[in-house]
């Protein structure tokens, strides 16, 4: 796992910085220069390198980005920065499983956003690992609300066996929250920080 914070304040500039940073990191893993043309985008929007020996997934939120890289397994990562005013209860009722939506509704107001984003990022990480994204449906998988660590309790049949899914909370500084997901055996998670903004590198 790689993490980076950007100094840009403009959202469009941050997106460009995140894409530059992604290409730099992928170039280091691939041992060659990776340009935009080398990235293949799936019908559901997931980027990949067709001839690479590794898989990756990127998520950026606000001034931060998280990049997951692994060999031999497809993975998904989702990162969120709290602070947006949203109707969390209504959104949970629309997109989540009934028990999850009820948990969001029952949460204290001060905890509601955190719980909503915890569920959202874990679910979206799984969907990105599947390569389907939100098109798969957030209501077609359910988190174990009683588990001390993130865990998948149920997923629709075309998502595989819930017991085969691995979920890890990202070790990000609060208030940010995020999750990493993959299907298969447990793996060691190694984390690295890029302390400088990607904007300090070559321009587009």
Per residue in 81-118, pLDDT (tens digit) is 999 899 999 999 999 999 999 999 999 999 999 999 99
Full set of structural domains in the chain with CATH? 2-200 (3.90.470.20)
For residue 196, the number of C-alpha atoms closer than 13 Å in the C-beta half-sphere is: 6
Q: Extract the tokens encoding 106.
A: 């029952």
- Distance of alpha carbon 161 from alpha carbon 152, whole angstroms: 10
**Residues 119 and 92 sit within 8 Å (Cβ to Cβ):** yes
For residue 181, the number of C-alpha atoms closer than 13 Å in the C-beta half-sphere is: 30
Per residue in 133-179, pLDDT (tens digit) is 999 999 999 999 999 999 999 999 999 999 999 999 999 988 999 99
- Residue 140 DSSP code: G
Per residue in 24-71, pLDDT (tens digit) is 999 999 999 998 888 999 888 889 998 889 999 999 999 999 999 999
Q: Which long-range contacts (CB under 8 A, 24 or more apart) does 161-167 make?
A: 165/126, 167/122, 167/125, 167/126
Q: How far is CA 137 from CA 1, 38, 60, 124, 133, in A?
A: 26, 29, 21, 9, 8
Angle (CA) 125-130-133 rounded to 5° is 60
- Distance of alpha carbon 80 from alpha carbon 83, whole angstroms: 10
């Amino acid at each position: 796992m790689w993490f980076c914070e950007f100094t840009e304040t403009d959202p469009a500039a941050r997106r460009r910085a995140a894409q530059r940073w992604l290409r730099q990191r992928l170039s280091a893993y691939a041992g060659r220069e990776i340009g935009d043309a080398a990235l293949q985008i799936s019908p559901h929007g997931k980027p990949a390198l067709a001839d690479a020996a590794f898989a990756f997934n990127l998520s950026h939120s606000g001034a931060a980005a998280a990049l997951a890289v692994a060999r031999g397994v497809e993975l998904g990562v989702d990162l969120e920065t709290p602070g947006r005013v949203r109707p969390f209860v209504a959104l949970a009722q629309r997109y989540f499983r009934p028990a999850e939506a009820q948990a969001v509704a029952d949460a204290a107001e001060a905890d509601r956003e955190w719980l909503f984003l915890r569920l959202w990022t874990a679910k979206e990480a799984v969907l990105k690992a599947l390569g389907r994204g939100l098109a798969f449906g957030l209501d077609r998988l359910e988190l174990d609300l009683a588990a001390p660590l993130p865990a998948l309790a149920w997923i629709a049949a075309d998502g595989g066996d819930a017991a085969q899914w691995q979920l890890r909370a990202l070790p990000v500084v609060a208030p940010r929250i995020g999750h990493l997901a993959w299907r298969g055996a447990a793996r060691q998670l190694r984390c690295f920080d890029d302390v400088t903004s990607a904007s300090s590198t070559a321009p587009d």
